[in-house]
């Protein structure tokens, strides 16, 4: 084998990210690394790329054991990386981005002509018709992707890591990109392809390694696997309901979304959610799930479609209007968007309802304190008191405060984005219990989650989004980890 990673382990505080993982790839092989979000794929690749250091294990290239202490050492060994976010500077031109780590000088000054000529040659070798003098930000996403490849590929490149390289490309651009990948293979470059899109894995790769929860599940010839087998390997573990589902008879339709679109984000998405129902929204990171919630809440503009609340068409052009209509939104980034972490619990919990506590033009501070204490106790927030800053709470207690902030508004529809990300099992149980209680009170809940066990355990129905479009919808009885994952990766569904 040309590349061998043996017994690789890596821990972060409180988390075992990789546990005795192996990866082997031949020279000129296109090798997929797949798994659910959080499986350890990016951590393994960051170790190979020198961005992270392994705790233990061995890496060999062409039979020789190597040490990769940093990204410069990785480049010296012929390892290139294309990151999902491209990691380039839009305000610089193309040749400047290509030479960020290798500026050429002449007479003590930058030799811009030589850099432009070298960039033009590298792009031409990839079959990319891109002007090296163009500002990077003016290019299409596909052309920027080609620039990223050109930067990663040098004559010395022997291994190229591609982390979700097609996530922003159209189907036609994907085909062009794959033509470049096949050309690199013919040159003997070993390519590591990280992707959630199974149709691409089967289209372009020869072998596939599956990781799950930081451990190696196995590796196989891609041609010997079916989509169903690969999904089963990825989803693998049985979906265990750690906490019983609260069964609530659904009421009338609380919100209906018809043909909703937002420019460049998602298109023609529709679903309904009833009072007392928990509607789960599944899909991969980047599929457009968060953007759908933000558009419903008036934070992002819509280019088409209709939102009906209580059967009536509405215009939601701002979060203020959404709140007036009975919508509440708890964002994915609780510290950055859901809370003011530098403020205390009183300010955070009472922020949406301050007007109700105005007395003679002044806030009734005693009433604010009493209500914030009531809600904090009601949701089981563990804190020394409501004067404590949100920044000093654990992740789970911060999430409870984010829920308490909207709980007191008695919402008609609650929009939740990754409600239990980064919190422990005990805090998750309390959040699930709270959602069940809110559903029991007639609140319609729309919940985005990347955790399949969570999605399957507490949702009454599941809508799956794939690349900005609704790919499938399942009722509780018909949803399985395999069917949801298959739909999320473009492999089919109902």
Residue-wise pLDDT tens digits, 180-201: 889 889 999 999 999 877 888 9
- Which tops the pLDDT comparison, 446 or 235? 446
Q: Which residues pair with 23 in a beta bridge?
A: 5
What's the average model confidence in pLDDT over 96-121?
Answer: 82
Question: What would the pLDDT profile of 347-399 be if each residue is shown by its tens digit?
Answer: 999 888 888 888 888 888 999 999 999 888 887 788 888 998 988 876 778 88
What's the average model confidence in pLDDT over 202-216?
Answer: 93
Residues 3-235: name the CATH superfamily. P-loop containing nucleotide triphosphate hydrolases (3.40.50.300)
When computed from its CA atoms, the radius of gyration of the chain, rounded to whole angstroms, is 25
* Among the listed residues 372, 434, 422, the one whose alpha carbon sits nearest the alpha carbon of residue 398: 422
The total of other beta-carbon atoms located within 10 Å of residue 242's CB is 11
DSSP state of 463: E
* 436 neighbors 458 (Cβ within 8 angstroms): yes
How far apart CA 244 and CA 148 sit, in angstroms, is 47
The total of other beta-carbon atoms located within 10 Å of residue 186's CB is 8
* 476 neighbors 221 (Cβ within 8 angstroms): no
Quote the pLDDT of residue 492: 59
Residues 253-488: name the CATH superfamily. P-loop containing nucleotide triphosphate hydrolases (3.40.50.300)
- Which H helix or E strand runs over 41? helix 41-48
* Among the listed residues 306, 261, 308, 314, the one whose alpha carbon sits nearest the alpha carbon of residue 288: 261
| pLDDT tier, 149 (very low <50, low <70, confident <90, very high otherwise) | confident
How far apart CA 362 and CA 358 sit, in angstroms, is 5
How far apart CA 451 and CA 127 sit, in angstroms, is 40
- Which H helix or E strand runs over 430? helix 425-440
Q: Look at residue 243 and tell me whether its pLDDT is greater than 50.
A: yes
Q: Where in the chain is the domain with CATH 3.40.50.300?
A: 3-235, 253-488
Q: Look at residue 471 and tell me whether its pLDDT is greater than 90.
A: yes
Q: How far is CA 337 from CA 4, 17, 157, 294, 312, in A?
A: 42, 27, 41, 12, 29
Q: Look at residue 207 and tell me whether its pLDDT is greater than 90.
A: yes
């Amino acid at each position: 084998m040309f590349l061998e990673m043996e017994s690789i382990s890596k821990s972060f505080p409180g988390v075992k990210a990789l546990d005795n993982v192996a990866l082997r790839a031949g020279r000129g092989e296109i090798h997929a690394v797949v798994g659910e979000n959080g499986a350890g794929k990016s951590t393994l690749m960051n170790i190979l790329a020198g961005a992270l250091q392994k705790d233990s294990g061995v890496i060999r290239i062409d039979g020789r054991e190597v040490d990769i202490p940093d990204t410069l050492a990785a480049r010296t060994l012929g390892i290139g990386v294309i990151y999902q976010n491209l990691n380039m500077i839009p305000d610089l031109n193309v040749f400047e981005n290509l030479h960020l780590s290798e500026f050429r000088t002449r007479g003590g000054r930058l030799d811009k002509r030589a850099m432009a000529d070298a960039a033009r040659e590298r792009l031409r070798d990839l079959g990319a018709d891109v002007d090296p003098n163009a500002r990077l930000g003016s290019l299409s996403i596909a052309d920027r992707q080609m620039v990223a490849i050109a930067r990663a590929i040098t004559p010395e490149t022997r291994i190229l890591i591609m982390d979700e390289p097609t996530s922003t490309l159209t189907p036609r651009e994907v085909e062009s990109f794959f033509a470049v990948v096949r050309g690199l293979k013919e040159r003997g470059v070993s390519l590591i392809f990280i992707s959630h899109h199974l149709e691409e894995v089967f289209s372009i790769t020869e072998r596939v390694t599956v990781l799950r929860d930081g451990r190696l599940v196995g590796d196989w010839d891609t041609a010997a696997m079916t989509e169903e087998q690969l999904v089963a390997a990825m989803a693998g573990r049985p979906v265990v309901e750690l906490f019983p589902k609260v069964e609530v008879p659904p009421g009338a339709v609380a919100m209906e979304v018809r043909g909703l679109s937002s420019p460049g984000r998602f298109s023609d998405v529709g679903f309904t959610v009833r009072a007392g129902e928990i509607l789960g929204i599944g899909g991969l990171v980047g599929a457009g799930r968060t953007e759908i919630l933000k558009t419903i809440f008036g934070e992002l503009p819509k280019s088409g479609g209709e939102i009906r609340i209580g059967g009536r068409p509405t215009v939601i052009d701002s979060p203020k209007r959404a709140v007036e209509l009975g919508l509440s939104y708890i964002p994915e980034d609780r510290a950055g968007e859901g809370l003011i972490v530098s403020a205390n619990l009183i300010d955070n919990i009472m922020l949406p309802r301050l007007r109700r506590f105005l007395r003679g033009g002044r806030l009734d501070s005693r009433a604010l304190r009493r209500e914030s204490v009531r809600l904090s106790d009601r949701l089981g927030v563990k804190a020394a008191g409501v004067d404590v800053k949100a920044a000093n709470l654990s992740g789970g207690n911060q999430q409870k405060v984010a829920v308490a902030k909207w709980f007191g508004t008695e919402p008609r529809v609650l929009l939740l984005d990754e409600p239990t990300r980064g919190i422990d099992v005990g805090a998750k149980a309390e959040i699930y219990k709270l959602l069940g209680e809110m559903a029991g009170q007639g609140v319609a809940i729309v919940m985005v989650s990347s955790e399949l066990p969570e999605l399957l355990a507490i949702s009454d129905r599941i809508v799956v989004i794939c690349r900005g479009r609704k790919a499938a919808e399942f009722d509780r009885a018909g949803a399985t980890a395999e069917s949801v994952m298959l739909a999320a990766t473009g492999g089919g569904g109902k």
